[in-house]
Amino acid sequence: MALYQWITCIEHVDVNRQLLICLQENNLELDPEFSSRKIIYARDGNKSKCAWNTRVDIIISPNNGMTDEYVVEVRSSEPMLKKGTRCEEVATLLKTVIPPKS
């Protein structure tokens, strides 16, 4: 399983707005069934032409209840040690929109 994870400091409102733009540009969609005001869950869209094992899941959730720190996780069923995976591609894109805490 490929997994990219980082902690970010950002206002929740900004996370939603920035993430929605990034999701739309990359054929990813927010899943309202599993998302809430504090947790964001997104995944590859139903129309995605990716193989089932390369489809990514994105989870953004509060870091230990902190109000301005969030944990961003990008996951797929791809091998972690393989270079150039869809998971790595999406994580790199998200890091430009939601940068890691410095």
CATH number at residue 41: 3.30.310.80
Res. 19: pLDDT tops 80:
no
Domain span at residue 24 reads: 2-97
Q: Mind listing the pLDDT tens digit for each residue in 51-70?
A: 777 889 999 888 887 677 88
pTM > 0.85:
no
Res. 25 pLDDT band, cuts 50 70 90: confident
Residue in 96, 100, 76 with CA at minimum distance from that of residue 88: 76
Residue 21 lies in a domain: yes
Residue 100 CB contacts under 8 Å (≥ 6 apart), including other chains: 6, 7, 8
Total domains, the chain: 1
Question: How is the beta sheet containing 69-76 ordered, strand by strand?
Answer: 2-9, 69-76, 57-62, 40-44, 28-30
The whole-chain average pLDDT of the chain stands at 83
- Percent of the chain at pLDDT > 70 equals 86
**pLDDT confidence of residue 51:** 78
- 12-19 mean pLDDT: 62
Residue 102 lies in a domain: no
Res. 2 pLDDT band, cuts 50 70 90: very high
